[in-house]
Amino acid sequence: MTAAEAKRAAPGVAVRVQGARRVFRARGEPDVVAVDGVDLGAAPGEFVAILGPSGCGKSTLLRMIAGLDRADAGTIAVGEGDARDTALAYVFQDAHLLPWRTVEDNVALPLELRGRDAATRRDAARRAIEQVGLGDAARRHPAQLSGGMRMRASLARALVTEPRLLLLDEPFAALDEITRQDLDDQLRALWRATGMTVLFVTHSIAEATFLAERAIVLTRRPARVVLEHAIDLPAERDAALRGDARFAAETRALYAALARGNASAAA
């Protein structure tokens, strides 16, 4: 399939979060308002980065969008309906691979769960493994992989279903800087080739700037949006861009907003 065909086959869906609220209650403990009154969204096919202080509710927000957790109030729309009706994939910070399965069998797992036949699973898994640059390691087991390779396998497992929405929660945070930049390059290229919508949670301003078309900065808990910033950089982004003056200029607004959001939850 060419990049243009892939784009037509699985165009990205819109995401719209309005007034989202999530409160965690445990007996004998004070309620934790993790998310309160958050409005944000993504246009079909947009790449949006979400930044915010540790513990501010980013993972909770992403889990609610994925339908893995419920909102106590507000509305969350994904595509025409909600998460249940949409082909979406979720990438966690840990690769979460099954240790007894090879890379190929790990990547094929979502298709197995959907009842696809063996030949379809194998072809799709091999394609996804190639897409993330892991072709030589398809028959290896997770214990034989580096951290970066495990994350590539995890990304391939997300891509194998050709998601219309890809949600990533600090997926590359534990990797060394060079490996991380390599994966960022690859993810950006995959996004451009497929046209899927991407929501990417990160603590890294540089990573958000490199990857996204728009960055959303959240305050301390309960998370509120303190800034929405369109990233004015060319669509074609390569390693050299990270040292460019335009890149530094784009990060400045994000640093300032993150500092504001950290200082005050009532922004």
Ligand X SMILES: Nc1ncnc2c1ncn2[C@@H]1O[C@H](COP(=O)(O)OP(=O)(O)OP(=O)(O)O)[C@@H](O)[C@H]1O
Site track 60-89 with ligand X (rule: CB under 6 A), x = hit: x-----------------------------
- Taking CA atoms, 191 is separated from 6, 22, 55, in Å, by 11, 30, 28
Closest distance between Mg ion and the C-beta of residue 90, in Å?
Answer: 12
Structure tokens at 254: 């994000």
Measured from the CB atom, the residue of 18 and 59 that comes closer to Mg ion is 59
Amino acid at 223: A
Q: Is residue 59 part of the contact set for Mg ion (CB under 5 A)?
A: yes
Q: Which is nearer to ligand X, 58 or 150 (CB)?
A: 58
* Near Mg ion in 147-186, by CB under 5 A: none
| Binding letters toward Mg ion, positions 13-52, x by CB under 5 A | ----------------------------------------
60 interacts with, out of Mg ion, ligand X, none, CB within 5 to 8 A per kind: ligand X
Instruction: Reduce the DSSP state of residue 112 to 3 states and report it.
Output: helix
Residues in contact with ligand X, counted by CB under 6 A, come to a total of 12
Which of Mg ion, ligand X, none interacts with 131 (beta carbon under 5 to 8 A by kind)?
none
* Using rule CB under 6 A, residue 220 touches ligand X: no
SS3 142: helix
Length of the chain, in residues? 267
**Is the backbone of residue 162 left (phi > 0), alpha (psi -120 to 50) or beta?**
left
Which parts of 6-65 interact with ligand X (CB under 6 A)? 24, 32, 34, 52, 54-60
Do 108 and 121 form a contact (C-beta atoms < 8 A)? yes
List the structure tokens of 61.
């927000």
Nearer to Mg ion by Cβ, of 174 and 193: the residue is 174
Distance between CA atoms of residues 254 and 264, nearest Å: 15
The SS3 of residue 123 is helix
Question: Assign residue 133 a region: left if phi > 0, alpha if psi is -120 to 50, beta otherwise?
Answer: left
Closer residue to Mg ion, CB minimum distance, 170 or 213: 170
Q: How far is the CB of 85 from ligand X (least distance, A)?
A: 24
User: Which strand (E) or helix (H) includes residue 182?
Assistant: helix 177-194
User: Hey, what are 210's tokens?
Assistant: 């490199």
Total residues binding Mg ion (CB under 5 A): 1
Distance of closest approach, residue 109 Cβ to Mg ion, in angstroms? 24
* Contacts with Mg ion, residue ranges (CB under 5 A): 59
* Contacts with ligand X, residue ranges (CB under 6 A): 24, 32, 34, 52, 54-60, 221
